[in-house]
Structures are given as C-alpha cells and as structure tokens.
Structure 1
Amino acid sequence: MKKIVLHLLLILGFTKPCYAQMPYASPESVGLNGDFIKTQIDSIMHFGISEKAFPGAQLLVAKQGQIILHKAYGFHTYDSITKVQLNDIHDLASVTKIVGPLPALMKLYEEGKLDLDAPFSNYWKPWKHRKDKKHITLRELLAHQSGLQPYIVFLNSVTKNGNVKKRFIHSEASKRFSNQMYDGIYVKNRFKNKLFRIINRSKVSDKKVYTYSGLASLIYPEIIENITGETYTNYLQKHFYKPLGCETLGYLPKKKNFKNAIVPTENDSIFRKTLAQGWVHDENAALFGGISGNAGLFGTAKDLANYMQMLANYGTLNGTTYFKPSTVKEFTKIQYPENNNRRGLGFDKPLIGNDTLNITKAYPAPQVSKESFGHAGFTGTFVWADPKEQLVFIFLSNRVYPSRTHRNIYNLNIRPKLQQVFYEAQLE
C-alpha cells in the first residue's frame, strides 16, 4: 500500500524520487591495502600526465558495491588553468555503445520483442532487399561478427573541396535544420536518411570474422523507437538513467544548464575549426545531431559507476531490478570464441588467454576474470565491471586533447596498469 501511495504522489508531482547513492568505504574495509593503492595510482597518473597521455583524468573504483577510490588528477588542458573535478562531465565516446542503445536492446530482448538470432532485416526493413545483409543477425552485429565495414567517414558527404555543402549544413537553426552539431552548425533534419542509405549500401565482407564496426550502432536508436513508440532518449531516461540516479548521463549536455564543468576534447582542425567542448567529438554522431548509438553520451564517473554496478550485480541496484541475471549473463559472455572473437553482445571482453599475458600485451589487466566486461571510448574513457571480483573500474580522460594523435594512453598501457593495482592490493 505504501508503494502505491508513493507512486501516486510521484505521478501527481507532490514529491521527488530519492535514489540511494553508492556508499563510500575505505580500501581496508574490503580487504585491500589503501597505502599501496594510493602510492601506485598517484605514480601512474602523474606519469601519464607528464608523458602527455592526457592533460587530466579521474578514476573511480568500487569494490563490493562501495566506492573505495574517487580521485581527480591534472587539468582540463595543458595550460593548467582548470583543474579536473570529481563532478566533471566527460564525452564518453564509444562507451555510449554499452550505456546508450545496449540496455534498451537488452530490455527489448528480455521482453521478447527482439530475437538475437533472427535476421536483423526483420527490424530494419531496408536490409530485406540487400543480398549481403538480409541474413545478418542482431547477435552477429552486437558481437562484431557480421562482416560490416568498420567505419564510414560521413563528413565526406557534407563537404566538397574543403567547403560545407549548404544544402546539408546551415549556420542558423530553422524548422528544417534543427539538429545542432556545434555552436552555429546545424544539420538538415532529414540528413540522417542519407546516412542510413550509405550504411544500407555499404559493402559486407564474405568472411565472418571479428571486425569492430560502429555502423549498426547508428541504426539501433531508430529500431528502439520503432519498437517502443517512444523517443530513444526518453526511453533511456525513463527505464534506466533516472531510476539508477544517473543525474547527468545523457545527450546534448550543452542544452541542459548543468553546473558541472564539461571537459573539452579536441582542437578540431577537420571540420569545426575550434575546440570541441560540450558537443560530441565523434563526427558521425555529430551529423546525427549529437544523438546516436555509437557516441554522444556525456556523464560523470558516478553516473557510470551506478550503471556498471547494476550490471556487476547481474541486473539489480538498490533493490530495483532492471534485468534478469540470465539476460546480463547472455550479453556479457563471449559469443564466438571458436573464431577467436573475444566480444560479448555489445560488451567488450578480456582477450582470449588474457590471464597468460603480461601487462604490455594484455587487455585489460591480466588479472580480470573471464566473467568481466566493459568498453573503451576514443576520447580516453574506459569502464569495466568484474562480477566475480565485485570490482567496478571507471576511468575518464580527454586523451584526444589537443589532438587525436596523442596515443600515449595506449603506448604506456596506462589503464591496464591502473586496473591491475586493485587486483594486486590484497591485504595479507
């Protein structure tokens, strides 16, 4: 009865929902050595900044559902003016793939509205008449086993000889040009239909081998809207972000009046000709008006921790069930190990044989369990959950500042080294 009354009050607007936040605890309370963790993490972070792997970053780690470390390092840019803060909002890049469309697809699968092994053309009609695509399944797409090409540079469709095509891009908003990709840059609303046609006509490899592709992720929001009858963003907010207590997680943060600072990404020399900040870095997502399945989500480390902790708990958080355990286990297991494909459904997984590799060859840290899963983002973001070890690892940075040519975050194995610390910090 109490729950019914509270629900009615919420509907009538007399009260606001209160979501329990993840508690803080000391490393020692969960059996880890806090001094060892602090010394090692500080050393790796400061080394990364000194080697220009990133101008600044933050790390949040939870063990047994409790935050045992949340610390910020460095600055937003190399001019050392704005310090990284714990509530900064980051461009999540490809982490969007597992935090945006994927939970919606998981829910629709659980409700029997999506079949992983039926032809994807059942849900995306243009592929019905494409000989090379009509039999591709959603399972193959999510596991990057479909043969789709990795990427298409859609910017080539809106520029010619370095100049913007006015029929697709305007400098002012209008009824037909309301999709904003940056300050003073608006994309024709129907331009996404042209992008879908390009994807539909793209070549598919005859070989069914692991090839990471973001193209299907551009289609997923349309599928979700077609099945649910709701807008993609509203569906995510209603079913996941709001009940999880993810206060900033979402698209187009520049339009939301957050008090949090939004960390800049790259000095865009290709298209926007300025510092990308508050608008999605990924050009393809930008041409969809910033709302896309492959990139476009922004959020804080705490937002991501709530989401990943729910998954680490196999679908529940703070007494609320989002998925059946069987759903999470299906999506987070390796799908095609016989093809040397480590991927789950949407989720990334450790390299096959990862526990036999040293830190320079492993992905992620060698000690993560085979049950663990997560995803990385091009801008320097990385999230990982290990249900077996009850460990959630969130790393946020803007490694693409000032340019995407900065690759020391990979060359120096910064993120695996940070993650490894929490597996080596057991108290004796």
Structure 2
Amino acid sequence: MSFRHISICFFILFGTFTFLYCQPSDIQDFDKLSFKIDSIITNGISNEAFPGAQLLVASKGEVVFHKTYGFHTYDSLQPVSKTDLYDLASVTKILGPLPLLMKLVEEGQLDLDEPFSKFWKPWRSNKEKKDLTLREILSHQAGLIPYIVFLKEVVKQGKPKRRFVRTSPNGRFGRQAYEGLWVKNNFEKKVFRRITRSKVDADKKYNYSGLAFLLFPALIENITGHSYPYLLAKEFTLPLETPSLGYLPSRKGFPNAVIPTEYDSLFRKDLVQGWVHDENASLFGGISGNAGLFGTTRDLFRFMQMYQNYGVLEGRRYLKEETLKEFTRVQYPENDNRRGLGFDKPLLDNASRDVSEAYPAPSSSPESFGHSGFTGTFVWADPKYQLVFIFLSNRVYPDRTHRNLYKLNIRVSLHQLFYDHLKP
C-alpha cells in the first residue's frame, strides 16, 4: 500500500503520537485536509460519538490517508492501532455472503429473477414467499419485515433458557455464543421456521430487511456442499491477502487487539469484545450473513478496491465485470428505492442535497456503492472518482444509545472532504 505520486513528507504530532504523512499529488491542500479531518474526529470523540476510530482513504488504487484516532474505550488506556480489529456489523452483508452469491449467480447455480423458493425449499409452501425473487430480496423490495429479535426466544426474566442455552458444551449444545454460553445445535432451524412464517407486506415498496441474510450461509452450503466460512476464505479473503478479515477472532489467536463494542446487560452480561455484537449472529455461533465479520481498514480497503475495479485486484479476477455492474446498479428507482443488490447506494436525489442531509457525501457519484454497520462502521467505493473510503468505529460503546455519530454527521462530512480535495 504505497502512497501515490509522493511529493512532500512531514510529521504531524497528535496527542502523544507522531505520524508520518506523505502528501500525494492526487489531493489538494493535504495539510488543510488533514487538519479538517482531525478536527471532525476529535470533536466526535469529545462528544462521545465513539472512543476511537480508524480511517483509510484510497485514490486511484493507492492509499492517500490512513490514520487512527482515540482509544478502545473512554478510559483512554489503550490507543487505537491500525491492526486493531473492529466488529463490522452489517458491513458483513457485502463482504461475507454477497460475493459468494455473486459467484453462484455467475455460475448459473442461482438466478436473480426466478423464485427464491426454487433454491430455498422451505418457502415453496408459503404462499406469501414462494414467488419472491432473489432480486427483490437483495434490493429490499420483497416486503419482508426488517428484523426478528430471536434473543426473546432464549432469554426469560434476564436468564437464558436451559432449553436453548447451556454454560458448557455437549453433543447437543455445540455453538458457542460467548464465553460460557453454548447454543443448541438446531436452534437455527427454529430461526429459519420463524423467518418462513414471518409476514410479507403485500404493498411492494422499499423496506430494509436483514432476515434473508440469516439464511444465505445455509443456502450457500446447501448449493455448494462446502462450509460457508471455508468458501469465503478460499474464494476471497485469503487470495485478497486479508487473513484478519473473518469470523470469531477470539478463537484464532491473532496478535491483533479486538475493539470492544457494547456492554450487553441482557444476554452476555459483559462488555462484548472479540465476539460478535449482534445478538442474532451470536445465536448462530458468531457466524452469520447479517453480521459477525471483524476486520481492519486495510482489510476492507482491499476488498472494496476489488469491487471498485469491478472484480479485479492486482491482476487477479475474482468476479466478472458485468456481475459487479449489475449488483451495484439501482434496481427499483421507480419505487423510490435507492438500493442495489445487497449494496447500499446514494439517495436518489443525493447530489442536490446539502452535506447535512445527504447520504453518503453529496459529491459521490450515482455509480458509487457501499454499506454501513450498526456498530459505527462505513465503507464506500466510487468507480467514477476512483475513491475508496473506509471508516471504522465502535460508536455503540458503552451502549447503543450513543448516537452522536449520526447527529454530528461525522461519516458523511469526512467523506465529502475527500471529494472537495480531489484534484480534477
């Protein structure tokens, strides 16, 4: 990850840490840009939007800004490092199941416009779901309800039900949700049944739903005969040279520190660190399609750069160009739906909005795409301007009531700064 067209190098003192920066020729007024970025992020930390963050931005395939801020928690004991792992939350959707779904579509093993029930048998006998297509599901146009909190099934009066959760593993309880918490092996079948029986809105309109992403790993395994984590590593994370991007970092013995997320007072009764924050994903043993991946800004940069290049990175093709262009295209603009297939897209009128009301940066092109995560993560790629933007934080620390990340409009403001400073 070398800097592009380096012209000037200098040191910046930030708190007790010194960083070496090299000004790339693709960026105008780099020192002014860096000062603005520092101001926005340090203001966010001061207002407890998050205790710390990683920020990486690449222009034309080369990193032009990569810096860490703050600490793991507000006690200011452990500073954030570039190798620290963040819980990616819903960013998992576009880095986990989605690339494998794209490959299955390329290979003709899935079809975007045939009924999803052709590939997922439980839906064949459900009259509301049997005709829904994968295209409708991935673009959040299928009418599925947004979410089901399955934690309600396993916790009663603040205690896990022994029917579903045990404090030590055995032959029937082999899925580890946390230290000292093991979930019944067949609990996912209960989840799948609830999803199958869930309501479908007859009025087909945009309604974000993460339910199908709970199904996708099992779907991928059913079609391929291989485990979902194995395929993800084989096809993408290992060849992309992102070994730290993956599930269950607490089991892998990585030297990387893992950033804590939220203090869970309902289920795990602990500050969650090294285990997935999302409760539904935890009940799947930490491996799910809706959440569960951990990674660094460097990991996400390489994955998103491959996407931005429409399937190619460093001479190796991972996905076909036409596949990426189809999946990153707005699918139902006539229904006021901005979404691509799995990917988020700019608001349909984004270019005309002020930065305070835009999503993402108002200067991002209609070709751009990405996703955000509940824990405070955000990734975005713009093929037109060749700009990759990665922001990772733990805004849910110490709890999810901390919403100043949104109120202060931090991610969009940072994103727009790089467009403002890009040279024509």
Q: Deviations over 1:276-301 (max 9, x none)?
A: 00000000000111000000001111
Match of 1:247 among 235, 243, 246: 243
Aligned to 1:46: 42
Aligned to 1:24: 3
Higher strand share: 2
Conserved 8 A contact 1:380-1:397? yes
Aligned to 1:258: 254
Aligned equivalents of 1:189, 1:182: Cα separation in 2: 15
Question: When the two structures are aligned, how many residues end up with a matched partner?
Answer: 407
Aligned equivalents of 2:80, 2:358: Cα separation in 1: 29
Map 1:150-299 onto structure 2 (within 5 A).
150-299=146-295
Conserved 8 A contact 2:44-2:410? yes
Map 1:363-402 onto structure 2 (within 5 A).
363-402=359-398
Match of 2:315 among 299, 304, 319: 319
Aligned equivalents of 1:36, 1:422: Cα separation in 2: 11
Alpha-carbon deviation of 1:31?
4.0
Alpha-carbon deviation of 1:27?
4.4
Aligned equivalents of 1:27, 1:122: Cα separation in 2: 53
Higher helix share: 1
Is residue 401 of structure 2 the alignment partner of residue 405 of structure 1?
Answer: yes
Map 1:74-89 onto structure 2 (within 5 A).
74-89=70-85
Conserved 8 A contact 2:3-2:24? no
Aligned equivalents of 2:185, 2:241: Cα separation in 1: 32
Aligned equivalents of 2:139, 2:336: Cα separation in 1: 12
Match of 2:69 among 53, 66, 73: 73
Alpha-carbon deviation of 1:162?
2.6
Percent identity of paired positions between Structure 1 and Structure 2: 61
Alpha-carbon deviation of 1:167?
1.4
TM-score w.r.t. the length of structure 2 is: 0.95
Aligned equivalents of 1:27, 1:128: Cα separation in 2: 58
Is residue 420 of structure 2 the alignment partner of residue 420 of structure 1?
Answer: no
Aligned equivalents of 2:286, 2:207: Cα separation in 1: 25
One-letter identity of the residue aligned with 1:352: L
Conserved 8 A contact 1:63-1:390? yes
Map 1:102-113 onto structure 2 (within 5 A).
102-113=98-109
Aligned to 2:18: none
Is residue 128 of structure 2 the alignment partner of residue 149 of structure 1?
Answer: no
Aligned to 1:334: 330
Conserved 8 A contact 1:119-1:137? yes
Alpha-carbon deviation of 1:348?
0.1
Q: Deviations over 1:54-108 (max 9, x none)?
A: 0000100000100111100000000000100011000000000000000000011
Aligned to 1:310: 306
Alpha-carbon deviation of 1:160?
2.2
Aligned equivalents of 1:37, 1:227: Cα separation in 2: 48
Aligned equivalents of 1:408, 1:65: Cα separation in 2: 31
Conserved 8 A contact 2:26-2:422? no
Aligned equivalents of 1:332, 1:33: Cα separation in 2: 32
Aligned equivalents of 2:412, 2:189: Cα separation in 1: 40
One-letter identity of the residue aligned with 1:418: L
SS in 2 for 1:244: coil
Q: CA 1:143–1:427 in structure 2 vs 1: closer, same or farther (change >3 Å)? A: closer
Conserved 8 A contact 2:159-2:267? no
Aligned equivalents of 2:250, 2:156: Cα separation in 1: 29
Conserved 8 A contact 2:26-2:59? yes
Aligned to 2:51: 55
Aligned to 1:13: none
SS in 1 for 2:56: strand
Conserved 8 A contact 2:26-2:423? no
One-letter identity of the residue aligned with 1:386: D
One-letter identity of the residue aligned with 1:390: Q
Q: Deviations over 1:335-392 (max 9, x none)?
A: 0000000000000000001000001110011000000000000000000000110000
Alpha-carbon deviation of 1:323?
1.1
Aligned equivalents of 2:69, 2:288: Cα separation in 1: 30
Conserved 8 A contact 2:117-2:129? yes
SS in 1 for 2:204: coil
Gaps of 5+ in 2: 5-21
Aligned equivalents of 2:271, 2:87: Cα separation in 1: 13
Aligned equivalents of 2:164, 2:339: Cα separation in 1: 36
Aligned to 2:16: none
Aligned equivalents of 1:24, 1:245: Cα separation in 2: 19
Conserved 8 A contact 1:49-1:74? yes
